[in-house]
Amino acid sequence: MNLADTIRTIPDYPKPGIMFRDITTLLGNARAFRQAVDELVQPLAGMKIDKVAGIEARGFILGGAVAHQLSAGFVPLRKKGKLPHRTRAVEYALEYGHDTIEMHLDAVLEGEQVMLVDDLIATGGTALAAIELLTQAKARIAAAAFVVDLPELGGAQRLRDAGIPVSALMSFAGH
C-alpha cells in the first residue's frame, strides 16, 4: 500500500498558504496504520530500545504503537502544564512566539536508548526541543522517526546535523 495515498491534504490550514498533511485518515485505515507502525520500527530491527518518546498529540498514538512493537516503555512529551508530576522543561521558538515541552523527571533513566516519534517533521523546532529534553535526562537518542517529512523546511536535516539518525516514511513538497 502506498501510505502517501492515505494522507489527507487540507489547503490553507491553519492559515493561507499552508498545505496541512492530516494523518488521521492514515490512522483510521487499519491496514495503513499497521504498515506505518511496522515501517517506523523496521530501521531499528535488532537494536535495543528502552523507551519511545512521543510528542503530543499524534506522536502519542504512533509512539505507543511503536513502543508496543519494540517491547519498550513509552514517554509522553507534553505541552507545559499537562503532566501531573515533577517535570523538566525546554522552551523553544515557533514562527509566532514560543512554546514549552515537558516530561516527567523520572520518565527516562540515564543511559537509556530512546527513539523519538512524531507524525510530521517540518522546521524541526519541536523535535530538537524534545531531543534536548531527553539529553538533559542523559538518555541516548537512538533515532527519530516521522511519518511525514516536509524537506523544504529543513527539520530532518537539522536533526541529522545534530547527529540524530532520522527516518521518515514519506515526504511532501511545500509547507
For residue range 31-74, list pLDDT tens digits in order.
999 999 999 999 998 899 999 999 999 999 999 999 999 999 99
Please tell me which residue in 58, 78, 102, 112 is annotated as part of the active site: 58
- 3 state SS of 114: strand
Instruction: Say which CATH architecture domain 46-171 belongs to.
Output: 3-Layer(aba) Sandwich (3.40)
State the pTM of this model. 0.95
DSSP summary character for residue 107: S
- Catalytic residue status for 132: no
For the chain, how long is the longest CA-to-CA vector? Answer: 44
What are the extents of the domains in the chain? 46-171
- Catalytic residue status for 86: no
Please tell me which residue in 39, 56, 78, 95 is annotated as part of the active site: 95
pLDDT of residue 3: 98
Is 96 a residue whose pLDDT tops 80? no
